[in-house]
Structure 1
Amino acid sequence: MREQALFDKIDLHLIRVLHTVLTDRSVSRAAIRLGMYQPAVSAALKRLRDLAGDPLLVRSGTGMVPTDAGLRMIEPAAAILRSAEMLFSDARGFDPQTATSTFRIAASDYLDPLFLPLLMAQIKSLAPLARIEIHPLTSDSDYHAHLSLGQVDVVIGNWQKPPEDLHMARLLDDDLVSLVNRDHPATRRGWDAETWLAVDHIAPTPLHPGARGIIDQMLDEMGLRRNISARCAHFGLIPDMVASSLLVLTTGRQYCERFTERLPVKILECPIALPRLVYYQLWHERTHSSASARWLRERIKAVAASLRPPTGESDTKT
């Protein structure tokens, strides 16, 4: 009976306050995001603390951090909010012009740098009331868990062997090339496989310790290894580093082409025949039949096609 009495005191608004306060780690920032006055958020937090029998958010230095109990509530709260959003939006049918859905996209920054800006523009033009969150794929990104818990709706990236336990659709194919400074010796002399392997390469920081990037996985299968002398976690800054050094960046042609007019760089063909990069969007079974999620996936597909039409049929797991 006591549990039922506690449950009766909880409403969806209170869950939203809980999730926002715990993720923002600030009552004032949560108030701004929720469009509420700060005293109202503080009052809701007091109610939540009374219900939980735990402070949930405590001071640490100059900021605030969730307690252990608070941390355990973040994922269930996110799942409840996402499920409620899907429950009512899909029951009514999805109308982009009036939808207030939140679209959560996790994306690799190896993508064409125009991709996410164009996607953002298209979503906001067709669904002006929708909210959009772009999440990075970083070393602590467990995208399987994030998809299953509803923390993200779609993951976009490239994998040599995409995971088989998620739905997926092919977006783009691209060939691998090297980006170098215009004054790099290879622009005059050319290079063979041995020279290319020995030059100073720059590569993204691995997603987790010991991980091998997709290009190095390809080279491993050929029994080859390149000389990576620099790594950077911010992929978007690497072309500028190449432009001011003798470092070599090897990635998709489409990405490299965006920098050849802005920076003193040149695209060179790789002397080793590497497989093409394939970019996919991945999603979980939980959103497979959602009208709003299907709409989002169609927008992603349309933007990818507008940048460069796919070379093959869309390969979707059902």
Structure 2
Amino acid sequence: HFNDPLFIRVGNEMIPTELAKQIFPLISEVIDKVESINNFNVNFDPLTSDQLFTIAMTDVSHLVLLPQLTNYLKEKAPLIRLNIRPITPETSYQMANGEIDLAIGFLPQLEEGFYQQKFFRQHYVVISSKSHPRLDPNNFTLEDYMRESHIDIDAGIGHYHIKNELQNKGLDRNILIRLPSYLGVGLVVQETDAIATVPYYLSQVLLVRENLQILPAPLDFPTYDVKQHWHMSCHHKSSHKWFRQTCYELFKTA
């Protein structure tokens, strides 16, 4: 390839040529980097590693999954650090260039070109104040649903599942407030007579924190899968494999 033997025999010894001497530092640097990568993969220890994992998450995942993950890491990998980012149109690019290690949520835009693993299937329920004067969880009808004022959450693809299902049936809700995310919906519902349609696992979290009740959705809103997604550049990295498996074991049944 170099049009040079690189080594020549002198007696019983192999002596490097001038070209070999010139390229040796470059080759040595490459070998050192490869060994460093191999050592990093082989020697990853969650008990002692202080690696930073950057995760892109939907706001529902913030509320439902992040506390459980944080508590687990505190016990099993106390030095591991997390950097949480929102899902944006740039998320796929940031995953490809190594800025983001993992993306978690309902993310159909990452179905193509990324590895993925399902955690659980999510469906919708309705929440209201526990002291709501008109609603009974054991007898909640579509007529009740349409009569009440609604908190509408404009957050991601799931928002359009609800909107499209209502439009397909020619139904138009009375929207009292529109929120940009699910983060404040529990408190708003608790303090008003308005209701909100939210993912089931989120309702379980809100039920513990707020004075709410859960009502069955009176329509068959589409279900969806919550998954973790990652780029091929991270697929074989031992630290990343450990982190993915940890997330899967924690969240596979939410």
Residue of structure 2 in register with 1:136 after alignment: 86
1:239 aligns with 2:186: yes
C-alpha distance in 1 between matches for 2:165 and 2:234: 32
CA contact (8 A) 1:123 1:299 kept: no
Alpha carbons 1:112, 1:255 under 8 Å: kept:
no
Partner of 1:78: none
Q: Conserved in 2, the CA contact under 8 Å of 1:159 and 1:214? A: no
Counterpart residue type for residue 61 of structure 2: L
Q: Which runs of 4+ in 1 moved over 3 A?
A: 86-93, 159-162, 188-192, 205-208, 211-214, 217-229
> Structure 2: how far apart are the matches of 1:218 and 1:162?
23
Residue 201 (str. 1) matches residue 170 (str. 2)? no
Larger Rg: 2
Preserved CA contact (<8 Å) 1:160 1:278? no
Equivalent positions of 1:81-96 (< 5 A) are: 87=37, 90-96=40-46
Tell whether 2:29 aligns with 1:101: no
Give the structure 2 partner of residue 266 of structure 1: 213
Q: Size of the alignment, in residue pairs? A: 220
Percent of pairs with identical residues: 22
Residues 168 and 180 from structure 1, CA distance in 2 versus in 1: closer, same or farther, beyond 3 angstroms? Answer: same
Match of 1:116 in 2: 66
Higher fraction of strand: 2
User: Aligned in 2, Cα 1:188/1:157: closer, same or farther, shift over 3 Å?
Assistant: closer
Distance (whole Å) between structure 1 residues aligned to residue 133 and residue 101 of structure 2 = 42
TM-score under structure 1 length normalisation: 0.60
Q: Quote how far apart the aligned CAs of 1:284 are.
A: 1.1
Alignment of 1:148 onto 2:96: yes
SS in 2 for 1:118: helix
Q: CA deviation at 1:286?
A: 1.4
Deviations 1:15-36 (A, max 9, x none): xxxxxxxxxxxxxxxxxxxxxx
> Could you say which structure has the greater relative contact order, defined with CA pairs below 8 angstroms and 6 or more residues apart?
2
Change (3 A) 1:290 1:267: same
- Contact kept in structure 1, 2:41 and 2:239, CA below 8 Å: no
Unaligned ranges ≥5, structure 1: 1-82, 311-318
Q: TM-score scaled by structure 2? A: 0.73
Q: Which amino acid aligns with 2:65?
A: F
Partner of residue 160, structure 2: 213
Q: Answer yes or no: is the 8 Å Cα contact 1:160–1:214 preserved in 2.
A: no
Q: What is the distance in 1 between the residues matched to 2:99 and 2:165?
A: 31
1:1-318 matches, within 5 Å, as 87=37, 90-111=40-61, 113-137=63-87, 140-159=88-107, 163-182=111-130, 183-187=132-136, 190-197=139-146, 199-206=148-155, 213-220=160-167, 224-305=171-252, 309=253
Amino acid at match of 1:105: I
Shift of residue 274 of structure 1? 1.9
Cα offset, 1:99, TM superposition: 1.9
Secondary structure of the residue aligned to 2:61 is coil
Q: Which string of whole-angstrom CA distances, capped at 9 and with x for unpartnered residues, describes residues 42-84 of structure 1?
A: xxxxxxxxxxxxxxxxxxxxxxxxxxxxxxxxxxxxxxxxx99
Q: State whether residues 56 and 100 of structure 2, in contact with CA within 8 Å, keep that contact through their aligned partners in structure 1.
A: yes
Change (3 A) 1:229 1:88: farther
How large is the Cα RMSD of the aligned pairs? 3.1
Structure 2 distance, partners of 1:298, 1:188, is 38
Give structure 2 stretches of 5+ with no counterpart.
1-32
CA distance in 1, matches of 2:234, 2:248: 16
Q: Deviation at 1:246?
A: 2.0
* Residue number in structure 2 paired with 1:34: none
Letter in 2 for 1:200: S
